[in-house]
Amino acid sequence: MGILSQLLSVIPISLEQGFAYALVALGILVSFRILAFPDLTVDGSFALGGAVAARLIIAGYHPLVGIIMAIICGFLAGTATGFLNTKLKINSLLAGILVMTILYSVNLRVMGRANIPLLTVKTIFTPFEEMQISRYIPIIIFFFLVTFASKIILDLFFRTQIGMAMRATGDNEQMIITLGVNTDRITVLGLGISNALIALSGALIAQDQGFSDAGMGIGMIVAGLASIIIGEALIRKKSVGWLTFAAVTGSVVYRLFISIGLRLGLAPTDLKMATGLMVIIALGLPAIRKEKEGKLHLRGV
């Protein structure tokens, strides 16, 4: 097989993972970009989604029930971080780390062990596996539809009165307070939405890969940030619809980079290091070029 066809062969897996993890990128977009809140709950809430869905599925519930419960639990995890920050006045970074750490124990409790295999049970993907075509086609279409539906719902939400108050909270908190908005409540709601999306991603990916694992969330936040940064480098328009589009696109391109890297001999164990370095370079470039622009604007740090 020539190099070109080898590279082309990574496209299906990149599309599948790109759209699947795009939900994480969208969630991080809501917390980091829209709310300007550096939420580190992500690594915990992603695994939480997988854990809740897996546990319910092996207990005999319909996969949809597992997915919906995962979304609700993710939402609650996000509101917990928001509560620690807004009511107990714990630093935003620390609040996220605390909930993430607590979730590690919670996830082990939920699953009852460190790993639940899902290969032999009926998941949301079982009907696709039974089709007489390549499994990639229906699964890519499925993840594409879920991700784009989420993107459209987010776009519409950010045009509502509450959604606009949320954007203003991240942009200029003092201003929207003087217009009568309780920004504490908005922050808690936004973190809930963000982590609900991330837990949804965890629930779907656990079923797609055939297992849920207590460690499956590690590095998720950095990967999501990398996706957003890549997306914004490719798509420079800043309106909300373009930001969500950029996050999805960035996620696909990021997974494409990763797949190509692996094909070219990058050790899977070095993946997180490579991703981390990528984010450092992207965030550090403005400082090296002595530019003021381009820095992430974050609240409560």
**Which region among 58-66, 90-98, 99-107, 166-174 touches other proteins (by CB under 8 A)?**
166-174
Cα–Cα separations (whole angstroms), residue 212 to 87, 92, 192: 33, 28, 22
Q: 159 or 272, CB closer to other proteins?
A: 159
| Among residues 29, 140, 165, 216, the one that binds other proteins under rule CB under 8 A | 165
Alpha carbons 64 and 73: distance in angstroms, whole number: 14
Which residues, including other chains, have CB under 8 Å from residue 143's CB and lie 6 or more apart? 16, 19, 20, 22, 204
Alpha carbons 247 and 161: distance in angstroms, whole number: 23
Kindly report the backbone phi and psi dihedral angles of residue 212, in degrees, each rounded to the nearest multiple of 5, phi listed first.
-115, 140
What is the closest distance, in whole angstroms, from the C-beta atom of residue 32 to other proteins in the complex? 14
Q: 140 or 166, CB closer to other proteins?
A: 166
What is the closest distance, in whole angstroms, from the C-beta atom of residue 62 to other proteins in the complex? 29
**Which region among 47-55, 159-167, 193-201, 268-276 touches other proteins (by CB under 8 A)?**
159-167
By the rule CB under 8 A, 167 interacts with other proteins: yes
By the rule CB under 8 A, 293 interacts with other proteins: no
By the rule CB under 8 A, 176 interacts with other proteins: yes
By the rule CB under 8 A, 58 interacts with other proteins: no
What is the closest distance, in whole angstroms, from the C-beta atom of residue 108 to other proteins in the complex? 37
Q: Are 46 and 201 in contact (CB under 8 A)?
A: yes
| Among residues 3, 4, 113, 180, the one that binds other proteins under rule CB under 8 A | 180
What is the closest distance, in whole angstroms, from the C-beta atom of residue 240 to other proteins in the complex? 9
Question: Rounded to the nearest 10 degrees, what angle do helices 220-234 and 271-288 cross at?
Answer: 50
294: left (phi over 0), alpha (psi -120 to 50) or beta: left
What is the closest distance, in whole angstroms, from the C-beta atom of residue 237 to other proteins in the complex? 11
User: Among candidates 299, 295, 292, which has minimal Cα distance to 282?
Assistant: 295
Alpha carbons 224 and 124: distance in angstroms, whole number: 24
Which residues, including other chains, have CB under 8 Å from residue 117's CB and lie 6 or more apart? 210, 211
Site string for other proteins, 109-128 (x = CB under 8 A): --------------------
Alpha carbons 90 and 71: distance in angstroms, whole number: 25
Kindly report the backbone phi and psi dihedral angles of residue 37, in degrees, each rounded to the nearest multiple of 5, phi listed first.
-115, 115
Please spell the DSSP secondary structure of 230-297, one letter per residue: HHHHH----SHHHHHHHHHHHHHHHHHHHHHHHHTT--GGGHHHHHHHHHHHHHHHHHHTT-STTPPP
What is the closest distance, in whole angstroms, from the C-beta atom of residue 37 to other proteins in the complex? 15
Q: What is the CA radius of gyration of the chain?
A: 19
Segment 128-157, which members bind other proteins (CB under 8 A)? Answer: 157
Site string for other proteins, 201-240 (x = CB under 8 A): -------------------------------------x--
Tokens of 26: 């969208």
| Among residues 115, 137, 171, 285, the one that binds other proteins under rule CB under 8 A | 171
| Among residues 63, 74, 163, 217, the one that binds other proteins under rule CB under 8 A | 163
Segment 238-267, which members bind other proteins (CB under 8 A)? Answer: 238
Q: 129 or 291, CB closer to other proteins?
A: 291
Q: Can you give the binding site for other proteins, defined by CB under 8 A?
A: 157, 159-165, 167-168, 171-172, 174-183, 238
